[in-house]
């Protein structure tokens, strides 16, 4: 996913039709905030950052719960 994230190129370098796809890419936000924070010392928008972290944390806990619930079945299948 790193190759489709804007780590090696700015989003403005893409064609306008491809920018729409890039805006739904999950690592885009984190990489974009890092690109602004490190060289320019621009802080992220805290509301967006907090919502991004809340959704990410919720998904991580959901994944952990799902794996704990179905983990025995995976061990039997392997």
**pLDDT tens column, 27-58:** 888 888 888 888 888 998 899 889 888 998 99
Q: Has residue 5 been placed in a domain?
A: no
Q: Has residue 50 been placed in a domain?
A: yes
Residue with more model confidence, 75 or 52:
52
Q: Has residue 6 been placed in a domain?
A: no
CA–CA separation, 22 vs 5, rounded Å? 7
pTM for the model stands at 0.62
Phi, psi (deg, nearest 5) at residue 26: -60, -45
Q: Are 19 and 13 in contact (CB under 8 A)?
A: no
Count of the separate structural domains present in the chain: 1
DSSP code at position 12: G
Q: Has residue 70 been placed in a domain?
A: yes
pLDDT at 75: 64
**pLDDT tens column, 11-29:** 888 888 888 888 778 788 8
**Domain that includes residue 22, residue range:** 11-77
Q: Has residue 2 been placed in a domain?
A: no
């Amino acid at each position: 996913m790193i190759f489709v994230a804007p780590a090696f190129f700015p989003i403005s370098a893409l064609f306008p039709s491809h920018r729409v796809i890039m805006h739904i890419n999950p690592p885009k936000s984190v990489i974009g905030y890092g690109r602004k924070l490190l060289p320019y010392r621009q802080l992220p928008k805290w509301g967006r950052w907090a919502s991004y972290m809340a959704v990410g944390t919720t998904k991580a806990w959901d994944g952990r719960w799902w794996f704990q619930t179905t983990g025995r079945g995976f061990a039997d299948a392997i």
